[in-house]
Amino acid sequence: MTVRLGVNLKGLGLVLGRGVFVRADRPALLPMHAAPWCPPQERGILAPMATQFYTASSIDGFIADPEHSLSWLLTRDIDGRGPMNYNAFIAEVGAIAMGANTYRWILDHPEALEDGRWPYRQPTWVFTHGGVPTVDGDIRVTSAPVAEVHGEMIQAAGGRNLWVVGGGGLAGQFADSGLLDEIWVQYAPVALGSGAPLLPRRLELRLEDVARNRDFACARYTVVH
């Protein structure tokens, strides 16, 4: 039997981290905030950082089906302590970028929130050309090109990484500006045929790491600039 621990959904990194699925006979996973985030100025971290697109995909390269559903993803088995797991990833994230559709998706799914509250403590930039609802949290709405905002996000991250949550179009904008450093993909064992593409760009990558995490084939790539 497969059981779900904690709140979930939120778009892949969203799902892999917060919608943790494990076998009932396996050890319980850490909750999202097992490695709590605190402002970087309180930790004095000066380590190099990276701008990363971390997400899940079908094997044919879609991050959502044509109805923007993640039902194809939410029953999968993954180990929250396994290779390329979300808990370790989010612990190194100091700032977040997402598009308006991803932001609205989170707000429209109460299970993606934490008791109705915005689930991230990291400052989050929402890129949109229109208005979006507001909620309590460090959310910064912008219509500026990513290249104009990137420096501000890096400064806010304080030496930690910048997570481009999605969608693929936003990640592509970072790549177009030469600002995307890494792509982490957890491939689910399903083909969707159509939907929202993983990354609607031609982009040269170098494979750095590959591993299996239960149902997922996990790969980490460096963007070749």
So what's the pLDDT on residue 48? 67
So what's the pLDDT on residue 4? 33
Digitized pLDDT (tens) for each residue of the chain, 225 residues in all = 333 323 333 444 554 443 333 322 333 233 333 334 444 444 444 446 999 999 999 999 999 999 988 899 989 999 999 999 999 999 999 999 999 999 998 998 888 888 888 999 999 999 999 889 988 899 999 999 999 999 999 999 999 999 999 999 999 999 999 999 999 999 999 999 999 999 999 999 999 999 999 999 999 999 998
What's the CA gap between 86 and 90, in Å, rounded? 6
Retrieve residue 22's tokens.
């494990």
Up-side HSE of residue 47: CA atoms within 13 Å toward CB?
Answer: 11
Retrieve residue 66's tokens.
């044509």
Q: What is the pTM of this model?
A: 0.81
In CATH terms, the superfamily for domain 2-26+42-223 is: Dihydrofolate Reductase, subunit A (3.40.430.10)
* 4 in Cβ contact with 19 (< 8 Å): yes
SS3 state of residue 92: coil
So what's the pLDDT on residue 13? 52
What count of other Cβ atoms lies within 10 Å of the Cβ of residue 118? 18
Phi–psi pair at 73, nearest 5 degrees: -105, -30
